Amino acid sequence: MKNDKAMRSLNVRLFKQPQDYSSCWQAMKSFTDVRQKDSIDEVWLLEHEPVFTLGIRERAEDCIDTGDIPVVKTDRGGLITYHGPGQLLIYLMLDLRRLGAGLKFLVKQLEQATIDMLGEYGIQAERKANAPGVYVDGRKIASLGLRVQRGSTYHGLSLNVDMDLSPFDRIVPCGLAGMKMTDMKSLGVTAKCDEIGGRFVQLLAEMLRYNEIFHDLVESSRDDSE
C-alpha cells in the first residue's frame, strides 16, 4: 500500500436494528454504482435477520437442509454461509485505487484486524492458507466474501459474536466439509456487537491509514430509511 500522508476519511454507519439481507445488498451495490473519485469510503456495522447466502462459487451439494431460512444468491466471492442475529457484519465500501492496495492485501488486513481484536479479548486466533477467514482451535469464527466493482469493494466480513450456530449444521459452511463454527460467547466473551465492531474499525483504520473517521448511528432498517 502506498505510504502517503493525504487526508483519508472513513464514514462508519452503525445500524441498531437487524437488517434484511437483500435490501442491504442492493444498497451497497447502489452506493458503489454512483460513487465518485472523491466519495468518502464507508463501513457498515450491522446484524442480519436469518438468511443463507450463496457466493459466486455456489455448489448445490453445500445446501444440506436450509428449511424455512431464506436462501439468497449474491455476487460476492466464496460459497455458502449463514447470517443471523448475534453475528457482526462488517461491510466495506472502500476505494482500492485510492488506498493504493490490492484485494489480497485488503483480505490479509481484514484477517489481521480480526486476529488482533480477538486477541484483545483473550482469544488466540489464526488464518489458514487457501481458506480465507479467521479460525480458533480449528473452528471458524469469521468469514470473508468481497466483490470489486469499478475499483471499489462491497460485501465484507462476518464475525460470530453471540449467535445460534445450529443453522451452520444445515450447510457446508464456505464449502469446507466437516468445518465447525464457533463464536465469541462460546469462548467466554460477553461484549456486544456494537462494542466489538467499534474496536475492529479502529484497528482496521489504523492499518489502512485513515486519519479522519465519522460515525453515523442508523436507528431504522434499510427498508424504513430508503
Active site residues: 174
**Cβ atoms 168, 84 nearer than 8 A:** no
Rounded Cα distance, 46 and 199, in Å: 14
CB 171 within 8 A of CB 63: yes
Question: b vs e for 151-168, b when ≥16 Cβ sit within 10 Å of the residue's Cβ?
Answer: ebbbbbbbbbbbbebebb
Q: Are strands 71-73 and 80-83 parallel, antiparallel or unpaired?
A: unpaired
Cα–chain-centroid distance for residue 216?
18
